[in-house]
Structure 1
Amino acid sequence: MRPLLSLALAALAACSLGAAGPQVGAGANWTNPGGDAGKTHHSALAQITPANVGALGLAWQAELGTMRGQEATPVVVDGVLYTSGVAGRAYAFDAASGRPLWAFEPEVDMQVNRTTCCDMVNRGVAVARGKVFVASLDGWMYALDAKTGAVVWKSDFIENRRKGDNSTGAPEVAGDVVVIGMGGAEYDVRGYVTALDLDTGKLRWRWHVVPHDPKLGPQERPELEAALKTWDPNSRWDIGGGGAPWDAINYDPETGYVLVGTGNGGPYATSKRSPAGGDNLYLGTLVALDPKTGRMVWHYQETPGDNWDFTSTQPMILTHLTIDGKDRSVVIHAPKNGFMYVLDRRTGELLRANAIVRTNWAKGIDAKTGRPLLNPAEADYTDGPKIVFPATTGARNWHPASYDPATGLYVGAVLDMGNLIFMTPGQKPARARALNNDAALIFTPDVKAALDTLPAPMAEAVRRLPAYQEALRDPGKAQIRAIEPLTGKTVWAADTLGWQDRGGVLTTASGLTIHGGVDGRLVVRETATGKVLKEIQTGTPIMAAPMTFMAGGVQYIAVAAGWGGGGYPFVPRYSAAYTRGNMNRLLVFRLGGEAVPIPDLLPPIEVAPEPPAQAADVTAETIARGQGLFFNNCAICHANQPRSITPDLRRMQPGTHELFRQIVLEGALVAGGMPRWNDVLTPGDADAIHAYLIDLQGKTRADELAKQKAGKPLDGPSLTILSNY
């Protein structure tokens, strides 16, 4: 790590912390990534106000030494700021001055990169008993000495390392255990959460999301025997079922339960995963577990029989609401599926459920049964392509929202967009540690242009879909919205630059809403109205949620900056990463601070270099086979865009071409994050992929030379297509 510090010189603007009374939200300390026990991402601090926020500037910054996604919200305890970064790195700073105290980098098996669909991110640390807990990308929990960063213990929490398991979430301390989930549902995993002893790291319990193959004997827990009845006995147990709980784990001290949101099914289509249908418990579900034993107390399935990658892993907020004249302990949850749910967190009783975006997979939620009113005519793509709202990117995703008790508003990033989804016929053999979703996704902003790339009969079928005209009329938009939790009504909405421009949110007791943008802005709004009060251009994309703390009588606001996450290779043209690169930074602000140093502009894009000649035996069929292999295995990481944060393979240099087999099959670049594929791809497969890329590079070069001659930009827009087709 190479910290770059700049201390603020201006004097402190003095003001009160607010009226006397019980504190709501985080105080001087921000004790977990969500701030307080309810993870409301709300602060009781009020030194920075609408009246003085114009004086907000940089107090200090630290370069994190990486160039991938930053999704963690820092934690501050007693004047020390702790945060995590790429692949499970951890850092500690003096919170007031930015003086680095220690940095930790785990030894990560980069083969796990094959199963991290959505970048090498990490969403934060937990702090308890003098230790900082952080999970590495490859599934090791580290307990670090909070003062020195030294490893106190490390524990392997991956159940089966021959599968596609990985870890990107923040640990959660629940009594005397630390609880962690895992990711990889698009691959070949059977989801689970793990509880480790806080003092020793020993396994205390593990809770599985989906049953195992009944032919293997009794299930691990009674609730899994019950779940088995909701699955076809002949389900695709070889693929695992999915359900990975990669985020959204909350310990509720009021009830003593650990609340967990579970992931999507694998493969995506219910008809392939569980051919006879069924709810497929506990996919797309909120579950309450006893942290001492892992016993399930209650569950509520938000998306029965998930067919659309509608995870329930989006952040939860625990609070109290007055409902029908009674004070209720509730969990507010807005998962991918487009509805906002309010549940009793003691019992799991559904109290409210309202759509917050367009939803055509379901017509609503039955208030009596709690079940969605499914709409298979528009959303079941078993027999042909469908345009489904919301998209698999989710109405809400990992970007934390905030709940402001003064206004009663839930403020967060919302995406109102759909996608075309289709699959190939027939069952496919399971692929170890490789994509098994068997679905192609084309987001509605790209659907019209994509029809020219699809087979004519499929394109015509898409044009006849009821949702096609809707997709043309309103392809989608991302917004920061303030929503009433009990009605789903939007009080105000602020458009962002594009569907990839989403970020986490902080609210404060002084009436401020603070969030970032992938164009590099830190934006401060009035919570009640959404009015912009202050914008600070940082030159680095901001997706993570800001937080705030007090140190030495001064209120600070901190946020991690760096583009990444889902769809990370597709860097949007409006992103600061596109124009200025993706230098990961931690930015800390205070009243009277300085201007933020802006990274230099990137150099102009150059024409793709001349590729080598094709091998003598390469045919059109070879190139077509290579294209299919590329989209099945490589395209999820390689966008082939000139500003992608992964290599643009249309611009390979001669040395890369010469070593292509060694890179793909033997792991010549594993240290740089490129895994080896010799267990999935044959030498002939690697050669076919290489032939396709040589052909693509030649076409790209010819196209860019023509653009250059005509004075046109070289970086024309491209379709965003995520495919296993």
Structure 2
Amino acid sequence: MRGAILALLLLAGCAAGDNGGAGDDWPFTGGDVGGSHFSRLTDIDAGNVARLGLAWSHDLGTNRVQEATPVVVDGVMYTSGNLGRVYALDAATGASLWTFEPEVDMQANRSACCDQANRGVAVADGKVMVGALDGMLYALDAKTGAVVWKADTVTDHSRGYTSTGAPEVAGDLVLIGNAGAEYDARGYVTAYRIADGKQAWRFFTVPHDPKTGPQENPALDAALKTWDKDSRWDIGGGGTVWDAINYDPAFDTVYIGVGNGGPYAIKTRSPKGGTNLYLSSIVALDRKTGAVKWHYQETPGDSWDYTATQPMVLADVEVDGKVRPAILHSPKNGYLFVIDRETGKPLRINALVRTNWTKGFDKDGVAQMTPKNVDYWNGPRIVYPASAGARNWYPAAYDPTRKLYFAHVLDMGNLMFGPSPGTPEQARRAKALNVQTTLVFTPMLQQVLPTLPAVIRDQVEKLPEMQWVKDKPYSSELRAIDPLTGKAKWAVPTQGWQDRMGTLATASGLVFHGTIGGKLMVRDADTGKLLKEIDTGSSIMAAPMTYRVKGVQYVAVATGFGGGGWGYVPDYSAAYRYGNANRLLVFKLDGAPVKKPDPLPVLEVASPPPAQKPGVTPAMIAQGQGLFFQNCAICHSNQLRSTAPDLRRMQPATHDMFGAIVRDGLLLPGGMPRWDDLLSVQDVDAIHAWLIAEQGALRAREMKLKATGKPLDAPSIAVMSNF
């Protein structure tokens, strides 16, 4: 198991940076101990990949997001699904060995900004470890799936903490962080003993209010100097470690990528400014104690959701004639960093996309900020890259033989603006969004701009970045990148700005990736040429992986659309056309065709809405619209084919129960949280009034479309923007 594998690596003197790639087993979510998503297997190559077909599939029994890469050890596949479900399968046949479904507090859905995602399991010492959405860490018996121990990773259940990342094994410890920076969380990472689940140490990434007592460790005393002492400590500060935890046996060090600040704008969060350590940083921690060895801040004073939580690759790279142990990291902020693992010194920093928050980095790796370009608290600004990130959670693959980094890159910006000047400071909203910032992505900007207040619209139209928007609203590409220069050896466009894809590279010169359009693609690693395409009918975002059992090489990938913006399903996605039933698809040479799901039925015209209640006014409807976007739109974007209900299509019985659903938690077992602590009866009535008006307008539009014979799922009637 994984603990034994790590021990063997250490005994053999195999450092993480040797990055030899995975072999017959795929014992880590990233394949090898360095997280390279690279395989040494060569049975499937350019000469025979045309014969690739389905070996077996497994229905995951869900219809939400799938972001995990499976682990295979000794012929058994372990993988996770949304909420923290775990599946153990025979890796050769797909036969189910056991399934684990955690008892999740579904109120956690309210604090899940980006769907019910889970990014994988860790296997060590006969245990399979997984984090559930509500923050519970489970250790399961690898043979039976029985719970061996569980640990509550949440320090304060009155705040919006969730867990979505894969645990990381580090010797006799397992580490996990939490999500929630958009809500009211204070970030940290915790180490537990694999043997019994007891806490070994915890490292907070953000200082607490100095008025409440001493900081937990000296590293936080140092960080406090970079924060205003009158910061909005009540909101937590953000800095959650929701992914990107890597253990390096060579230095017995754990590297963590730290998330964004909360609230977003530093003017609100830390009024007198400062770099706000350890936000948007990579921090190296001593495995045994959690003490800081070094830190490097990739985005000082983050105000743009530029998390550093994107997957890292540990590799040995030659820089200026010397081979150095390095971290390859492409966070949201638009740059690719090569960082010395021993010292924390940046060795190379190269831009991947258009950026206007900085004009680059100096020789010491310090960002040369351009604050007037992006200080949206002083007026609306178009910021590049967007808060969605030039790179995000979807893993890159690194081929050490070709010295190429295969990654999906999104060149896109967003309009950002805060409350109007003179608006009273917003109190903390418990377990709810506290970003206090409006975002509109540039592909949608020209469509949304006419709907914005005139004072905002006039300022936006004068911004110089509007020319960037007009020239190229976005580009979305899979690239083969030289990590020392940032230059692409080749690049291929992907279908749309919501496409996102993890990658797999193999020693036989292949690159595997999926698309949300439902295709599994295989490309030549040297040229990007498409060698094989399999239409699965299921959206694919997760990174594929490969393994070998009894001499047969397999390639596996999970299917399912979701994640950030999950309520808005693009019309070019398989999820839009076929639904979002989640499957694990496993391929081999001379396999069978993939059976696609049946197409979704033709939509019917929206039902007539009930009459408005007495006393409903235009002002009340407008108030309801604002409350909807503040609290509901992140899930219910009210877009056709959404994975969450389109609330413009409610049936009479749902209208009758609207208050009980929203305030009282009537549908809590199904994942709809209750809002009685934040929304009054009058607030809910206002939201309902606006939805009734929207349903009436939608029905009128659809009746006209039906009369002309046009399909009701035409993209033009998806009238609400998710921002």
Normalising by structure 2, report the TM-score: 0.96
User: How far apart, CA to CA, are the structure 2 residues paired with 1:158 and 1:50?
Assistant: 48
For 2:395, the equivalent position in structure 1 comes to 400
For 2:240, the equivalent position in structure 1 comes to 244
For 2:452, the equivalent position in structure 1 comes to 454
For 1:376, the equivalent position in structure 2 comes to 371
Structure 1 contact 482–490 (Cα < 8 Å) conserved = yes
What is the Cα deviation at residue 197 of structure 1?
1.0
- How big is each residue's C-alpha offset from its partner over 1:448-497, in whole Å with a ceiling of 9 and x where there is no partner? 11111011121111111010011111000211111110111111111010
Structure 1 contact 410–485 (Cα < 8 Å) conserved = yes
Q: Are residue 352 (structure 1) and residue 348 (structure 2) matched? A: yes
Structure 1 contact 446–720 (Cα < 8 Å) conserved = no
Normalising by structure 1, report the TM-score: 0.96
For 1:28, the equivalent position in structure 2 comes to 24
- How big is each residue's C-alpha offset from its partner over 1:57-78, in whole Å with a ceiling of 9 and x where there is no partner? 0000000000000000000000
For 1:687, the equivalent position in structure 2 comes to 685
For 2:145, the equivalent position in structure 1 comes to 149
The correspondence for 1:661, drawn from 637, 655, 659, is 659
What is the Cα deviation at residue 719 of structure 1?
6.5
What is the Cα deviation at residue 502 of structure 1?
1.1
Q: Are residue 304 (structure 1) and residue 300 (structure 2) matched? A: yes
One-letter identity of the residue aligned with 1:35: G
For 2:495, the equivalent position in structure 1 comes to 497
What is the Cα deviation at residue 712 of structure 1?
2.8
Q: Are residue 593 (structure 1) and residue 591 (structure 2) matched? A: yes
For the residue of structure 1 that corresponds to 2:555, the secondary structure is strand
The correspondence for 1:66, drawn from 62, 69, 76, is 62
Q: Percent identity?
A: 60
Q: Are residue 470 (structure 1) and residue 465 (structure 2) matched? A: no
The correspondence for 2:132, drawn from 133, 136, 160, is 136
For the residue of structure 1 that corresponds to 2:445, the secondary structure is helix
Structure 1 contact 441–721 (Cα < 8 Å) conserved = no
Pairwise mapping of residues 566-605 of structure 1 onto structure 2 (< 5 A)?
A: 566-605=564-603
For 2:528, the equivalent position in structure 1 comes to 530
User: How far apart, CA to CA, are the structure 1 residues paired with 2:70 and 2:419?
Assistant: 43
For the residue of structure 1 that corresponds to 2:540, the secondary structure is coil
Q: Are residue 253 (structure 1) and residue 249 (structure 2) matched? A: yes
Q: Kindly tell me: are residues 640 and 23 of structure 1, through their superposed partners in 2, closer, same or farther at Cα, counting changes over 3 Å?
A: closer
For 1:364, the equivalent position in structure 2 comes to 360
One-letter identity of the residue aligned with 1:406: T
For 2:417, the equivalent position in structure 1 comes to 422
What is the Cα deviation at residue 720 of structure 1?
7.2
User: How far apart, CA to CA, are the structure 1 residues paired with 2:708 and 2:268?
Assistant: 49
- How big is each residue's C-alpha offset from its partner over 1:225-275, in whole Å with a ceiling of 9 and x where there is no partner? 000000001100010000111000000111110000000000110111000
For 1:387, the equivalent position in structure 2 comes to 382
Structure 1 contact 412–481 (Cα < 8 Å) conserved = yes
Structure 2's unaligned 5+ residue stretches are: 1-17
Q: Kindly tell me: are residues 722 and 571 of structure 1, through their superposed partners in 2, closer, same or farther at Cα, counting changes over 3 Å?
A: closer
User: How far apart, CA to CA, are the structure 2 residues paired with 1:45 and 1:517?
Assistant: 23
Structure 1 contact 570–720 (Cα < 8 Å) conserved = no
User: How far apart, CA to CA, are the structure 2 residues paired with 1:703 and 1:119?
Assistant: 30
Structure 2 contact 19–316 (Cα < 8 Å) conserved = no
Q: Are residue 327 (structure 1) and residue 323 (structure 2) matched? A: yes
User: How far apart, CA to CA, are the structure 1 residues paired with 2:148 and 2:444?
Assistant: 50
For 2:669, the equivalent position in structure 1 comes to 671
Structure 1 contact 446–719 (Cα < 8 Å) conserved = no
For the residue of structure 2 that corresponds to 1:180, the secondary structure is strand
User: How far apart, CA to CA, are the structure 2 residues paired with 1:657 and 1:703?
Assistant: 21
What is the Cα deviation at residue 721 of structure 1?
4.2
For 1:549, the equivalent position in structure 2 comes to 547
User: How far apart, CA to CA, are the structure 2 residues paired with 1:491 and 1:437?
Assistant: 38
Following superposition, which runs of at least 4 residues in structure 1 exceed 2 angstroms of deviation?
A: 710-723
One-letter identity of the residue aligned with 1:373: Q
For 1:47, the equivalent position in structure 2 comes to 43
The correspondence for 2:267, drawn from 271, 275, 287, is 271
Q: CA RMSD in A?
A: 1.0
Structure 2 contact 19–32 (Cα < 8 Å) conserved = no
User: How far apart, CA to CA, are the structure 1 residues paired with 2:340 and 2:263?
Assistant: 31
User: How far apart, CA to CA, are the structure 2 residues paired with 1:587 and 1:367?
Assistant: 46
One-letter identity of the residue aligned with 2:342: R
What is the Cα deviation at residue 722 of structure 1?
4.4
Structure 1 contact 227–280 (Cα < 8 Å) conserved = yes
- How big is each residue's C-alpha offset from its partner over 1:652-673, in whole Å with a ceiling of 9 and x where there is no partner? 0011001111100111101111
User: How far apart, CA to CA, are the structure 2 residues paired with 1:700 and 1:692?
Assistant: 12
User: How far apart, CA to CA, are the structure 2 residues paired with 1:630 and 1:554?
Assistant: 52
One-letter identity of the residue aligned with 1:101: L
What is the Cα deviation at residue 26 of structure 1?
0.4
User: How far apart, CA to CA, are the structure 1 residues paired with 2:44 and 2:383?
Assistant: 43
Which has the higher mean CA deviation after the structures are superposed, 648-657 or 700-709? 700-709
User: How far apart, CA to CA, are the structure 2 residues paired with 1:617 and 1:144?
Assistant: 56
- How big is each residue's C-alpha offset from its partner over 1:661-715, in whole Å with a ceiling of 9 and x where there is no partner? 1100111101111001111111111111111111111111111111221233323
Which has the higher mean CA deviation after the structures are superposed, 162-171 or 699-708? 699-708
User: How far apart, CA to CA, are the structure 2 residues paired with 1:310 and 1:721?
Assistant: 22
Structure 1 contact 110–673 (Cα < 8 Å) conserved = yes
User: How far apart, CA to CA, are the structure 2 residues paired with 1:108 and 1:457?
Assistant: 45
For 1:13, the equivalent position in structure 2 comes to none
One-letter identity of the residue aligned with 2:415: L
Structure 2 contact 568–722 (Cα < 8 Å) conserved = no
